[in-house]
């Protein structure tokens, strides 16, 4: 039996309707920005393998960190025990974060990093005997697929079967240049109730909603209103973190800082699974008590897995290299040039860029929908051209590893331009 046949026998893939899905692509090797299939065909990893890969695949510094750590401490329980790589990554993340963020909690992925953030926020108020039950989020949000994370995300076909189990959330409209006043007044109305525990956002770019972008200025204003009425603010930097917006974090573009930040994806260079939730000292202090039940009673088997922590440290080493900083700057410039070309085309709408991410809508006459047929056509076309690029509905976006060369970026750009000519 071929691998594809064996896969069909036993594997249940994410976000996949198996009745109608075609064969999965068998990838046998990954190196730099390239993926290789079983026939030896190569593909540029144009969306960084679900937005996680930042330095390219099989980076030797990451590989060495994995093997060194495996031979030092591979895994150990993290309650009652610590180890050097957990402390090192926590120190380095705190050092790179805004001054108010001081404590790092470890979990396994982006959803759990958000879930921990929400639980910490609710318990912060609970521990002080002033429980707040409301949450405010943005329309179009995606924060992950666990229950808390789904509850604060956009309601719709992705989570409809579970909706009756979600907690109540009030949604603000997605900020645009036209609706500033209306959003600010809606926010003031919601937060002034002083019942809102937490305001959660994907700062500057909503990923799964189609790389929708908004300004740091409006986010600063919303954060300020939430803080004015004593609500906590969570920035979900799972997608935006680690260079995507051109700076290390999206919050680096903002004046007003969050109380809690969720990190994952690029944290471990897209190689190991880990999530971090970084909280302010004030929040941490609200869990200190003689009463054991005021502790944060949450943990995972693989909390602070030493190999994941070592990879996160190695990834930060690479971020600190001059070459990476220059690569990110070049990618931002190539993106801007690409946007200029896209703007001249009639079947392209709403071109936008945040740092290394370039996105636009294909004008299909069908409106914007995740299930647009054009998605399949585009996906197949790019595969044919040797590019793995997963559109979100009729939104095409490019967010490759930062180590991509100009030649490889140009190949993606030319394939997109030729696809646009073909439709
Ligand atoms: C902003 C944001 N938050 C949370 C998540 C969930 O992360 P994970 O898929 O690692 O659970 C994602 C995943 O795409 C995301 O983009």
Per-residue pLDDT of the chain (423 residues; tens, 9 = 90+): 999 999 999 999 999 999 999 999 999 999 999 999 999 999 999 999 999 999 999 999 999 999 999 999 999 999 999 999 999 999 999 999 999 999 999 999 999 999 999 999 999 999 999 999 999 999 999 999 999 999 999 999 899 999 999 999 999 999 998 999 999 999 999 999 999 999 999 999 999 999 999 999 999 999 999 999 999 999 999 999 999 999 999 999 999 999 999 999 999 999 999 999 999 999 999 999 999 999 999 999 999 999 999 999 999 999 999 999 999 999 999 999 999 999 999 999 999 999 999 999 998 776 666 666 788 899 999 999 999 999 998 999 999 999 999 999 999 999 999 999 988
Using DSSP's 3-state secondary structure scheme, residue 380 falls into helix
Q: Which atom of ligand 1 is nearest to the CA of 208?
A: 16
Minimal-distance CA residue to ligand 1 atom 10: 110
Atom of ligand 1 nearest to the CA of 112: 11
Q: Establish whether residue 234 lines the binding site of ligand 1, counting it when its CB lies within 6 angstroms of any ligand atom.
A: no
pTM of the predicted protein model: 0.97
* Sheet strands side by side (includes 34-37): 27-31, 34-37, 42-45, 387-388
259 in the same domain as 130: yes
Give yes or no: residues 141 and 26 share one domain. no
Query: What is the C-alpha separation between 78 and 386, in angstroms, rounded?
Result: 43
CA of 346 to the centre of ligand 1 (A): 33
Shared domain check, 326 and 314: no
The token duo for 53 is 């890969």
Q: What is the CATH number of the domain that holds 359?
A: 3.90.1150.10
- Alpha carbon 381 to chain centroid, angstroms: 26
Please report, for residues 110, 116, 268, 408, the alpha-carbon distance to residue 276 in angstroms, rounded to integers and kept in the order given.
8, 9, 10, 32
**Domain span holding position 346:** 3-58+322-422
- Do 209 and 348 fall within a single domain? no
Domain termination site, one of 319, 349, 371 = 319
Count of structural domains within the chain: 2
Q: Measure 112 CA to ligand 1 centroid, in angstroms.
A: 9
Which pLDDT score is estimated for 364? 76
Q: CA nearest 276: which of 300, 253, 294?
A: 300
Q: Whose CA is nearest to atom 13 of ligand 1?
A: 144
Through-space distance between the first and last CA atoms of the chain, rounded to whole angstroms: 38
For residues 310 and 344, membership in a common domain is answered with no
Q: Do residues 259 and 176 share a domain? A: yes
Q: Is the C-beta atom of 111 inside 6 A of ligand 1?
A: yes
Question: Do 215 and 283 fall into the same domain?
Answer: yes
Which CATH number does the domain housing residue 182 bear?
3.40.640.10
**Same domain? 215 vs 191:** yes
The answer to whether the CB of 208 is under 6 A from ligand 1 is yes
What is the position in ligand 1's atom list of the atom closest to the CA of 114? 4
Q: Residue 399 and residue 47: Cα distance in Å, rounded?
A: 5
Residue 314 sits in the same domain as residue 327: no
* Whether 215 and 244 share a structural domain: yes
* C-alpha 281 to ligand 1 mean position (Å): 25
The answer for residues whose C-beta is within 8 angstroms of residue 123's C-beta and 6 or more apart is 286, 287, 296
Is residue 110 in contact with ligand 1, taking CB distance under 6 Å? yes
The verdict on 376 and 273 lying in the same domain is: no
Residues 41 and 124 both lie in one domain:
no
Residue 51: partners with Cβ closer than 8 Å, 6 or more residues away: 207, 239, 244, 265, 266, 399
pLDDT for the residue 363: 86
Distance 53 CA to ligand 1 centre (A): 14
pLDDT digits (tens, 9 = 90+) for 317-372: 999 999 999 999 999 999 999 999 999 999 999 999 999 999 999 987 766 666 66
CA–centroid distance, residue 52 to ligand 1 (Å): 10
Maximum CA extent, the chain: 68
Does residue 135 have its Cβ closer than 6 Å to ligand 1? no
- Of 17, 34, 62, 25, the closest CA to residue 315 belongs to 62
> Ligand 1 pocket, 270 CB below 6 A?
no
């Amino acid at each position: 039996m071929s691998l594809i046949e064996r896969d069909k026998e036993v594997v249940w893939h994410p976000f996949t309707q198996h009745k109608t899905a075609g064969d999965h692509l068998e990838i046998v090797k990954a190196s730099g920005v390239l993926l290789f299939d079983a026939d030896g065909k190569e593909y540029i990893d144009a969306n960084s393998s679900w937005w996680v890969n930042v330095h390219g695949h099989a980076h030797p510094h990451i590989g060495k960190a994995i093997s060194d750590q495996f031979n030092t401490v591979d895994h150990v329980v993290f309650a009652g025990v610590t180890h050097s790589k957990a402390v090192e990554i926590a120190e380095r993340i705190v050092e790179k974060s805004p001054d108010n963020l001081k404590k790092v909690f470890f979990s396994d992925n982006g959803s759990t990093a958000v879930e921990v953030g929400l639980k910490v926020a609710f318990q912060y108020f609970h521990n002080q005997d002033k429980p707040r039950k409301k949450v405010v989020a943005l329309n179009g949000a995606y924060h992950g697929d666990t229950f808390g994370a789904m509850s604060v995300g956009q309601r719709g076909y992705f989570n409809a079967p579970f909706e009756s189990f979600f907690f109540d959330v009030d949604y603000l409209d997605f900020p645009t240049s036209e609706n500033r006043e209306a959003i600010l007044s809606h926010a003031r109305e919601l937060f002034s109730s002083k019942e809102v525990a937490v305001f959660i956002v994907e700062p500057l770019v909503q990923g799964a909603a189609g790389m929708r972008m908004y300004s740091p200025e409006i986010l600063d204003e919303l954060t300020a209103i939430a803080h004015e009425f004593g609500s906590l603010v969570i920035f979900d930097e799972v997608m935006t973190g680690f260079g995507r917006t051109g700076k290390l974090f999206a919050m680096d573009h903002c004046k007003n800082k969050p109380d809690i930040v969720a990190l994952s994806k690029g944290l471990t260079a897209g190689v190991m699974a880990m999530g971090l939730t970084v909280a302010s000292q004030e929040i941490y202090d609200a869990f200190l008590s003689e009463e054991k039940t005021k502790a944060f009673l949450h943990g995972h088997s693989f909390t602070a897995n030493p190999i994941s922590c070592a990879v996160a440290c190695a990834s930060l080493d690479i971020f600190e290299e001059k070459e990476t900083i220059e690569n990110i700057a070049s990618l931002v410039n190539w993106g801007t040039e690409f946007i200029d070309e896209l703007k001249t085309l009639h079947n392209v709408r709403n071109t936008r860029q945040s740092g290394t991410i370039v996105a636009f809508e294909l004008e299909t006459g069908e409106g914007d929908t995740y299930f647009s047929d054009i998605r399949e056509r585009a996906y197949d076309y790019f595969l044919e051209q040797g590019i793995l690029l997963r559109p979100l509905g009729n939104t095409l976006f490019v967010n490759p590893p930062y180590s991509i060369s100009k030649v490889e970026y140009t190949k993606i750009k030319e394939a997109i331009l030729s696809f646009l000519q073909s439709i």
